[in-house]
């Protein structure tokens, strides 16, 4: 006779692996857009806190000539990755044996980087030194070179900085199908809010040094759809979830001190302002998540997560920044941020119930990254990870979980949109800590 083991006997092991789950991945991916709270049985609610601390350091390029793309190892950058934290919430309940509803909140996309110290991503505190570098033909002389010296002087000591924040609120309606209600289809609307600040400082950015932009918060809408299958007698659940792109139309303030000096495309060059407030279009990427779990024996659960995000299609194109970069060779100008490749993530795990109220878990993970070379504002090319977690049921309904994950980041070269390599970042790592409070009732 085939052995069976009901999900109830494994309940304490379920969800121990998602405390410090897929985070700090390719592109701007943060939360992994987890929807497993909606896949839980009965009435379920969770609140998850995640803290990420990464060490990302490398060397700038001592070649500051914007027309020469050769990388020449220069000064150490120090740790550019700022620690950050975020929350995830979820609540779900069954209306009857056919219909379920849920609401999920997460912070799906973000970035936090800051350069400090003596390197070419920090505005020079000694304009005479910048002038000396010009004299040594490391950067061009003439009006543009003089303007760069002036821009460096006005932002002296300031470092390159980027901060991107986003929030998602997802409403889901599910309908179970089949005689045993093993199949479910689900979907619903998604509200997304995005904002960003970028400061480019230092000789690494050539004429773009001292560029600043502030993207005001904008809220727009998309949708989610998926299907799942469950077999409770072996604790099996599988779900495939699609999230749509979300188009944003955002107000953006830009300051580009050298824009009037450089001018726009044309003969003579078209006059451009040093500052402007205008509108920018931004599309956050679609994604596909696959979540799987199955019981191996009455006390052991195996899980797998796979995620795909087409970061190769994603760009950030501020209007003034783009206009300044237009030329006869590049009539369409440059994007501020772009990625070469799409992202794949895989995470495998095991959870073991050690006692009626206690379970532990372990995971291994891989992220493909979004290509090397990558942007100087986030120079990481994927990662490998290992994680540990534990869950304790304080009562049959209430549980507390905690977990951690260690990440080895892939080496990456920081590249400007012009193709110039301005940094080399190797042998970096980071860690993630998470805590979860959850409730599950029938």
Residue 2 lies in a domain: no
Question: Which pLDDT tens digit goes with each residue over 87-101?
Answer: 899 999 999 999 999
Residue 17 lies in a domain: yes
Residue 212 lies in a domain: yes
Mean pLDDT on 410-420: 90
Q: Is the pLDDT of residue 215 over 90?
A: yes
Distance, CA of 55 to CA of 79 (rounded, Å): 6
What pLDDT is recorded for position 2? 44
Residue 196 lies in a domain: yes
What pLDDT is recorded for position 136? 47
Mean pLDDT on 426-434: 92
| Range(s) of the domain holding residue 350 | 7-441
> What's phi and psi for 67, nearest 5 deg?
-90, 0
Mean pLDDT on 98-127: 90
Query: How would residue 126 be classed by pLDDT, with cut points 50, 70 and 90?
Result: low
The number of beta carbons lying within 10 Å of the beta carbon of residue 426 is: 13
Residue 1 lies in a domain: no
Range from 175-184, 198-207, 364-373, 400-409 carrying the lowest mean pLDDT: 364-373
Question: Which pLDDT tens digit goes with each residue over 363-381?
Answer: 999 999 888 778 888 888 8
Contacts of the segment 82-86: beta carbons below 8 A, 24+ positions apart: 82/112, 82/113, 82/114, 83/51, 83/52, 83/53, 83/54, 83/112, 84/51, 84/52, 84/110, 84/112, 85/49, 85/50, 85/51, 85/52, 86/30, 86/31, 86/50, 86/110
Residue 185 lies in a domain: yes
Residue 20 lies in a domain: yes
Distance, CA of 300 to CA of 204 (rounded, Å): 52
> What CATH number does residue 41 fall under?
2.40.160.60
Q: Using omega within 30 degrees of 0 as the cis cutoff, is the peptide bond preceding 176 cis?
A: no
Query: How would residue 4 be classed by pLDDT, with cut points 50, 70 and 90?
Result: low
Residue 149 lies in a domain: yes
Question: Which pLDDT tens digit goes with each residue over 38-62?
Answer: 999 899 999 999 888 999 999 999 9
State the residue for tokens 């986030």: 378
Q: Is the pLDDT of residue 127 over 90?
A: no
Query: What is the number of structural domains in the chain?
Result: 1
What pLDDT is recorded for position 140? 57
Q: What's the whole-number average pLDDT of the chain?
A: 87
* pLDDT over 90 percentage in the chain: 58
Q: Is the pLDDT of residue 135 over 50?
A: no
């Amino acid at each position: 006779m085939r052995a069976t083991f009901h999900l109830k006997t494994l309940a304490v092991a379920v969800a121990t692996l998602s405390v410090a789950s897929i985070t700090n991945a390719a592109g701007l991916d943060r939360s992994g857009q987890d929807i497993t709270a909606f896949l839980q049985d009965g009435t379920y609610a969770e609140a998850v806190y995640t803290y990420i601390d990464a060490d990302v350091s490398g060397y700038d390029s001592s070649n500051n000539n914007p027309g020469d793309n050769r990388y020449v190892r220069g000064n150490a950058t120090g740790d550019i990755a700022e620690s950050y934290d975020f929350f995830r919430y979820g609540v779900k309940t069954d209306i009857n044996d056919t219909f379920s509803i849920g609401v999920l909140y997460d912070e799906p996309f973000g970035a936090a980087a800051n350069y400090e110290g003596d390197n070419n991503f920090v505005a020079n505190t000694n304009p005479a030194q910048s002038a000396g570098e010009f004299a040594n033909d490391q950067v061009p002389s003439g009006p543009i070179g003089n303007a760069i010296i002036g821009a460096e002087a006005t932002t002296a000591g300031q470092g390159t900085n980027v901060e991107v924040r986003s929030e998602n609120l997802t409403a889901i309606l599910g309908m179970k199908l089949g005689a045993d209600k093993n199949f479910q289809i689900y979907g619903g609307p998604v509200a997304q809010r995005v904002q960003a600040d970028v400061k480019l400082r230092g000789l690494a950015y050539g004429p773009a040094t001292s560029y600043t932009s502030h993207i005001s918060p904008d809220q727009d809408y998309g949708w989610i759809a998926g299907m799942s299958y469950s077999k409770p007698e072996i604790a099996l659940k599988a779900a495939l979830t699609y999230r749509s792109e979300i188009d944003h139309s955002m107000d953006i303030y830009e300051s580009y001190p050298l824009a009037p000096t450089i001018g726009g495309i044309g003969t003579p060059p078209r006059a451009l302002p040093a500052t402007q407030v205008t509108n920018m279009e931004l599309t956050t990427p679609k994604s596909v998540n696959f979540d799987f779990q199955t019981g191996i024996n009455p006390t052991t659960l195996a899980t797998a997560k796979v995620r795909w995000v087409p970061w190769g299609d994603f760009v950030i194109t501020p209007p003034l920044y783009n206009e300044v970069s237009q030329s006869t060779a590049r009539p369409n100008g440059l994007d501020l941020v772009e990625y070469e490749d799409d992202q794949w993530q895989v995470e495998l795990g095991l959870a073991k119930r050690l006692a009626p109220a206690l379970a532990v878990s372990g995971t291994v993970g891989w992220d493909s990254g979004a290509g090397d070379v990558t942007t100087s504002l986030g120079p990481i090319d994927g990662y490998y990870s290992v994680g540990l977690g534990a869950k304790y049921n304080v009562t049959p309904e209430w549980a507390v979980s905690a977990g951690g994950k260690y990440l080895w980041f892939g080496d990456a070269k920081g590249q400007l949109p012009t193709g110039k390599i301005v940094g080399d970042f190797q042998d970096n790592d980071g860690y993630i800590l998470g805590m979860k409070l959850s409730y599950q009732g029938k």
